[in-house]
Amino acid sequence: MREEEEEEEEEEESLQLMREEEEKEEEEEEPNPRSLSNKSKDEKPSSCFTLKLSDFPKMPAIKSIINRSRSHRVVQYSSAPGTNLSGDGSAVETTSCWANLPQELLREVLVRIEESESSWPPRKNVVACAGVCRSWRHITKDLVKVPELSGKLTFPISVKQPGPREQLLQCFIKRSRSTQTYRLYLSLNNALTEDGKFLLAARKCRRPTCTDYIISLDTDDMSKGSNAYAGKLRSNFLGTKFTVFDGQPPHAGAKMTKSYSSRLVNLKQVSPRVPTGNYPVANISYELNVLGSRGPRRMHCIMDAIPAAAVEPGGVAPTQTEFYHHSADFCPSLLFFRSKSNHAERVESFQSGPLSSQREGALVLKNKAPRWHEQLQCWCLNFHGRVTVASVKNFQLVASQENGPAGPEHENIILQFGKVGKDFFTMDYRYPISAFQAFAICLSSFDTKIACE
């Protein structure tokens, strides 16, 4: 009996505490006009909300919005709609005042943020807006588009996607002779300075019969077994023919090459959806000019992964949407092996294989013919100030007439590369090629060409 009386007393005390807390909450929800008038003008009650477009001229204001939205308010003993009960019986308010913004106003806010962030490093602030709430995420996804439409590189996969249609995306390459490495950066301003955001890196690997350039997303890990492996460029012995390999399929139905460098896992692929390996996406050939070493090089690029119609009005180029990584920890049986029996046969077929442009209508690029400058006594191309040093490596690529009748779109420069200083080069590209493909083509210009020089 005594125990039952004690339990009843405890229940009465708990009910009394609950009533007192509910009364306190009701008093807090009803603001006192006098108390509000005594507060400073900068302070706002939690229940009221005012917003103007002028409140969002810069990014710091948005950072405070993101921080506020992530701090959820815990309300004890409340069963109001729009709340979720946690395990201990408390209710957590999952919506914030920022989620209730009108769609038109929210879009205008995010558009202003997008316009204010013209360089790559602050792009994380634009993407951070997607973490505020679901409505912000939907609007941000509509605004943060692929480089073809936005002209900006936002995610790592952007280096595998076609560049902007309307203008050249400016980048630069830094060469390290001591380590035989090359690094691609996105230019953050129009000046020819080394102010940029790292995009890709490549390491030169000499072999007895060819040369490989391993391309990676990580400047510290440039190996074919890394998750950062993006692809490679391979040359023949003479340095006149090159093949660009992508580490993942550039489009549906892409065929993987069978070579000793293919990454196999006990005759099973790492991913059942996407086979890992090397997928040929471009073939590059250099020809000796009639003037010999004094004349400009002649380049011929066949973009196997891009249809010729991509440069036409309304044309479409394949666009990768995500990286398919593998992990050595996840697949410990990942092997790298070399077949000695048919290695020589593969190298020979690679070197002597014809570069035909009749590959199911593949896009063909050729270098723009330079003009002879009488006063300077050299061959010249108009790089619009992006190249300042004369070099045999300098080139501009345009769509070849082999793709069909020449039109205005065939005059557009798709890729240009040139020397600015010692071990410093500019690289500008546009649709329909990607930063990865452009970087690989430029790497071919660095390689020594025995038959052309």
**Hey, what are 96's tokens?**
């914030």
Percent of the chain with pLDDT over 70: 60
| 1 part of a folded domain | no
| 7 part of a folded domain | no
pLDDT tens, residue by residue, 244-285: 999 888 766 566 665 444 443 333 344 444 445 688 999 999
Are residues 135 and 182 both part of a single domain? no
Out of 144, 167, 190, a domain closes at: 144
Q: Which residues, listed in sequence order, are joined to residue 196 by a DSSP beta bridge?
A: 187
- The residue ranking higher by pLDDT, 11 or 67, is 11
pLDDT tens, residue by residue, 85-109: 445 444 444 556 777 888 888 888 8
CATH number at residue 322: 3.20.90.10
| 316 part of a folded domain | yes
| 209 part of a folded domain | yes
Are residues 97 and 206 both part of a single domain? no
Weakest-pLDDT range from 222-226, 323-327, 438-442: 323-327
Residue length of the chain? 453
Supply the pLDDT for residue 271. Answer: 43
Domain boundaries, position 356? 156-446
Residues 6+ apart with CB under 8 A from 389: 418, 419, 420, 421
Weakest-pLDDT range from 30-44, 149-163, 273-287, 398-412: 30-44
Dist CA 186 CA 176 (whole Å): 18
Give the pLDDT band (50/70/90) at residue 443: very high
Are residues 67 and 191 both part of a single domain? no
| 5 part of a folded domain | no
Are residues 360 and 252 both part of a single domain? yes
- What's the rounded mean pLDDT across residues 387-396? 88
Query: How many domains are there within the chain?
Result: 2
Dist CA 123 CA 117 (whole Å): 6
Supply the pLDDT for residue 95. Answer: 56
Q: Is the preceding peptide bond at 121 cis, omega within 30 degrees of 0? A: no
- The residue ranking higher by pLDDT, 351 or 451, is 451
Are residues 216 and 355 both part of a single domain? yes
The chain-wide mean pLDDT, for the chain, equals 72
| 391 part of a folded domain | yes
**Hey, what are 295's tokens?**
């004349």
pLDDT tens, residue by residue, 288-346: 665 555 566 789 999 999 999 898 888 889 888 887 654 433 333 322 223 333 433 33
Element housing 346 (H / E): helix 343-352
| 45 part of a folded domain | no
Are residues 278 and 230 both part of a single domain? yes
Supply the pLDDT for residue 430. Answer: 95
Dist CA 142 CA 164 (whole Å): 17
Are residues 330 and 402 both part of a single domain? yes
| 16 part of a folded domain | no
Out of 117, 144, 171, a domain closes at: 144
Give the pLDDT band (50/70/90) at residue 119: low
pLDDT surpassing 90 at residue 370? no
Weakest-pLDDT range from 4-8, 66-70, 161-165, 416-420: 66-70
pLDDT surpassing 90 at residue 83? no
Residues 6+ apart with CB under 8 A from 270: 263, 276, 326, 331, 334
Q: Which amino acid is at 121?
A: P
Whole-number Cα distances in Å, 227 to 158, 189, 215, 221, 322: 16, 30, 12, 9, 13
Are residues 216 and 263 both part of a single domain? yes
- What's the rounded mean pLDDT across residues 441-448? 89
pLDDT surpassing 50 at residue 238? yes
Are residues 139 and 199 both part of a single domain? no
The string of DSSP letters for 145-168 reads: --HHHH----SGGGGGSB--SSSP
Out of 120, 144, 168, a domain closes at: 144
Supply the pLDDT for residue 447. Answer: 81
- The residue ranking higher by pLDDT, 43 or 151, is 151
Are residues 300 and 209 both part of a single domain? yes
pLDDT surpassing 70 at residue 398? yes
Task: Tally Cβ neighbours within 10 Å of residue 409.
Answer: 15
Give the pLDDT band (50/70/90) at residue 222: confident
Are residues 359 and 280 both part of a single domain? yes
Supply the pLDDT for residue 130. Answer: 84
Give the pLDDT band (50/70/90) at residue 35: very low
Are residues 307 and 378 both part of a single domain? yes
The reported pTM is 0.69
Give the pLDDT band (50/70/90) at residue 55: very low
- Top-confidence range, 352-361, 374-383, 386-395: 386-395
Give the pLDDT band (50/70/90) at residue 123: confident
